A and B are shown apart, each in its own frame.
Chain A
Amino acid sequence: MTAADARAAAGVMLAESDSLVRALPGLLDELSEADRQRLRLIGRDKALESGQFVWQQGDGQTGIYLIRSGRIRSYYVAPSGREVTLAYWFPGNFVGGPDLFGTGPHMWTSVAVEASQLTFLPGPALRKLALESATIAVAVAVSAVVVYWRDGQARFLEILFSDLALFVDILPKVLAACLIAAFVAVLMPRETVMRWVGAESGLLGIVIATLAGTICPGGPITIFPIAAAFVAIGADTGAAIAFITSWTLLGYARILVWELPFFGGEFVIWRTIISIPLPIVAGFLARFIAGRLAARKRSEGDGGA
């Protein structure tokens, strides 16, 4: 989300003008920059014209919408057809709250009453963000208790100290990796990488896409929209898939920050070397499969005509 609109004032209830409501803090204002970044990574921007629906009564719930600018009206359509306005929502507010917890049909309609910009946060991704660390924490706690109970205190402490030593050993690596990630993110903006992916076709295109995937900064969810955008504007499918595969297998941030601490230098170096050709293989294979599918579609089309 870009810097909250200058009219950071957030109003709820039935006031039709922002000037009538007391300023409220935005939903994200209290978060640390890091956490805001995590939310931004799963967010998708959406621009609505005046009169466009965010969703309609009876639509399935999919996630919440943060309002960055504009104004959204939520209303209930009574069986008689009368519209009952529930609230106006302003920048800093969000709409679609119940989706966070359950799924089901929306109970009311939300519509933009002026040109508005929203950030959509998909419900499942939000829930996953909240639960991610909890699952493994529970597994570790249970395992530690079982080891203590089954093998005794000595074994428990032995594992603890040897793994703590490993952890202390990797600390400088993690710090260096985070610094590298931060520097690359400012020196190599995502837009630069985007230009590369769509650059060429043929072998060169796939190799360039592979390189771009290796150095593209950002979390998991930034990659897929970039690839989708490229295919949408007509870039080569093979290159887009080489780009995704390369980011998954050779992305520097993932290797440095995650894999290195867990597996150690030798494993990671060889795993990486072995993986270097894989995105290129995937790119060519994708191109081949896409070609075959297109050919079959064509011949089916001819047969039907």
Chain B
Amino acid sequence: MIYFVDVLLWVIALGLGLVAASRSRALLWTSVREGAVDCVRLLPRIMLGVVGSGYIAALLPQEVVGRWLGADSGVTGLCIAVLGGAVTPGGPVIGFSIGAAALKGGAGTPQVIAYTIAWALFAVQRLFIWELPVMPERLVWLRVMASLPLPFLAAAGAMLLGRP
């Protein structure tokens, strides 16, 4: 069970590799090389996040995190998580590091789910840097409005299922 995810990922990778190979050998090798290069490029950042989030979590006062974002923090905790997600600056490393640190530091899973989803949907900085310059303004605000309930729906789903 521990290796389930690993096995699944490698089966998918091998399957896709076979499809690529059936198109052409060159295609297979360029993709393998590209994937490997990407992996090497990502490793320092992921290492920074995974190893670093442990130190950030160690600094977070557990009682405070538990009280405001813990499993019993209810709707208030969810709202804090959603707001926190929306104002988290920067790219994936930062958002995921903070989420992982909160989880290690005693936050409840529905709250962390709400946080990651809110951050993925609303990150204010990304909204202004990426979205508004590229998409029509109307579409951006429509998207934001339509997305408002989603973190709460996801947290409710997690609570109903009782998982993870």
Contacts and interface: CB of A to CB of B under 8 A. Distances in A.
A, B in one complex = yes
Interface of A: 32-34, 44, 122, 124-125, 128, 131-133, 135-137, 139-140, 143-144, 146-147, 151, 155, 159-160, 162-164, 166-167, 170-187, 220-221, 224-225, 227-228, 231-232, 237, 240-241, 244-245, 248-249, 254, 256-263, 265-267, 269-271, 274-275, 277-278, 281-283, 285-286, 289-290
Contacts of B153: 277-278, 281
Interface of B: 4-6, 9-10, 12-13, 16-17, 19-20, 23, 27, 30-32, 34-39, 41-56, 58-59, 89-94, 96-97, 99-100, 103, 109, 112-113, 116-117, 120-121, 125-126, 128-131, 133-136, 139, 142-143, 145-147, 149-150, 153-154, 157-158, 161, 163-164
Contacts of A267: 103, 109, 112, 164
Q: Chain B binding site: helix, strand, loop or mixed by DSSP?
A: helix
Contacts of A285: 145-146, 149
Given A240-B139, A267-B109, A262 B99 contact: yes
Contacts of B19: 183, 187
A155 B54 CA distance: 11
A256 B52 contact: no
B48 A140 contact: yes
B92 A254 contact: yes
A96 to B, nearest CB: 15
Given A162-B54, A187-B20, A241-B143, 4 more contacts: A125-B129, A178-B36, A178-B38, A286-B143
B38 to A, nearest CB: 4
Contacts of A167: 46-47, 50-51
A122 B131 CA distance: 12
Contacts of B49: 136, 261-262
B126 to A, nearest CB: 7
Given A147-B58, A160-B51, A240-B139, A136 B150 contact: no
A22 B82 CA distance: 56
B59 A143 contact: yes
A265 B31 contact: no
A225 B128 CA distance: 14
B134 A224 contact: yes
15 contacts: A32-B37, A124-B128, A135-B94, A151-B58, A159-B55, A179-B31, A179-B36, A180-B9, A180-B12, A182-B31, A262-B46, A263-B96, A270-B161, A271-B117, A281-B153
